[in-house]
């Protein structure tokens, strides 16, 4: 009986997953778009001092180093960039993607355009939905966060971070699109570097911001589908042509 119960539960999970994919494809009719169903995770946020140190180092044009007990560290080492955990890991920027995939099990999708389907939007804040997007030879981190900027008034913040330097980030443009019930909402901006800290981007409001009522207009039974597209910036393209 226990075996049959577990098998039945697995079948229900598979049916639910396929239904979530169907809903996303119904909302975004463009052929060939990849759909990633992302479950929510309650985040253990960065310590403020850590974000402040990362931001200060980035502004000075150097990679941030995390100092513990006044120890001397290689200035080329960066702390873990995953916004979900207070992770003590440090490493070179080139191996950040491998760390995120192997240690934090963050999914990665490849393609010029994908659909990010966040489930269980009704859960209390703070909650994060995260995937990696591989496109144009680079990796990007999409973060959707439900957070209370004001007590009792949760909001949704969506941003795209390049796993690279600020100079590299300036070469790209990302677009987030919500489309449901004959309503369409787009956000287009230059991605920020992962070195600048996700918390700082959200605090600055330099991202797609939705209040609860607006999020409900675009959600479908507690799930929010966000179309994602990344292109090279016009300045970068013109320089390449020259």
Q: What CATH number did the domain enclosing 145 receive?
A: 2.60.210.10
Render pLDDT for 15-47 as a digit per residue (tens, 0 to 9): 444 554 454 444 444 434 678 888 888 765 544
- 52 part of a folded domain: no
Number of helical (H) and strand (E) elements in the chain, helices listed first: 7, 14
**Domain coverage including residue 151:** 33-43+76-231
> How many domains, the chain?
1
Render pLDDT for 52-88 as a digit per residue (tens, 0 to 9): 444 444 444 443 333 333 344 456 788 888 887 888 9
Residues 6+ apart with CB under 8 A from 221: 23
The predicted pLDDT at position 50 comes to: 42
Render pLDDT for 141-166 as a digit per residue (tens, 0 to 9): 999 999 998 888 899 999 999 999 99
The predicted pLDDT at position 39 comes to: 87
- 113 part of a folded domain: yes
The predicted pLDDT at position 203 comes to: 87
- 114 part of a folded domain: yes
Render pLDDT for 84-100 as a digit per residue (tens, 0 to 9): 788 899 999 899 999 99
- 240 part of a folded domain: no
- 108 part of a folded domain: yes
- 170 part of a folded domain: yes
- 172 part of a folded domain: yes
The predicted pLDDT at position 190 comes to: 96
CB neighbours of residue 47 within 10 Å: 11
Residues 6+ apart with CB under 8 A from 38: 107, 116, 117, 118, 119, 129, 130, 131, 144
- 7 part of a folded domain: no
């Amino acid at each position: 009986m226990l075996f049959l119960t577990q098998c039945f539960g697995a079948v229900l999970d598979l049916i639910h997953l396929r239904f979530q994919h169907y809903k996303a494809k119904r909302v975004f009719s463009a052929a060939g778009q990849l759909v990633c169903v992302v479950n929510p995770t309650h985040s253990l946020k960065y310590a403020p001092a850590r974000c402040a140190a990362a931001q200060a180092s980035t502004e000075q044009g150097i990679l941030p180093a995390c100092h513990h007990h006044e120890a001397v560290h290689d200035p080329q080492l960066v702390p873990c960039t995953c916004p979900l955990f207070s992770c003590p890991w440090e490493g070179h920027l080139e191996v950040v993607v491998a760390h995120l995939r192997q240690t934090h099990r963050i999914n990665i999708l490849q393609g010029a355009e994908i659909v990010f389907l966040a489930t269980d939007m009704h859960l209390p804040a703070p909650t994060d939905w995260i995937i990696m997007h591989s496109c144009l030879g680079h990796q990007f981190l999409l973060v959707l966060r439900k957070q209370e900027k004001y007590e009792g008034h949760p909001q949704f913040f969506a941003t795209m971070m390049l796993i690279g330097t600020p100079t590299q980030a300036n070469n790209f443009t990302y677009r987030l699109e919500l489309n449901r019930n004959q309503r369409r909402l787009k956000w287009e901006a230059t991605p920020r570097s992962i070195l600048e800290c996700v918390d700082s981007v959200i605090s600055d409001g330099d991202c797609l911001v939705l209040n609860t009522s607006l999020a409900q207009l675009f959600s479908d039974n507690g799930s929010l589908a966000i179309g994602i597209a990344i292109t090279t910036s016009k300045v970068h393209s013109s320089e390449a042509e020259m």
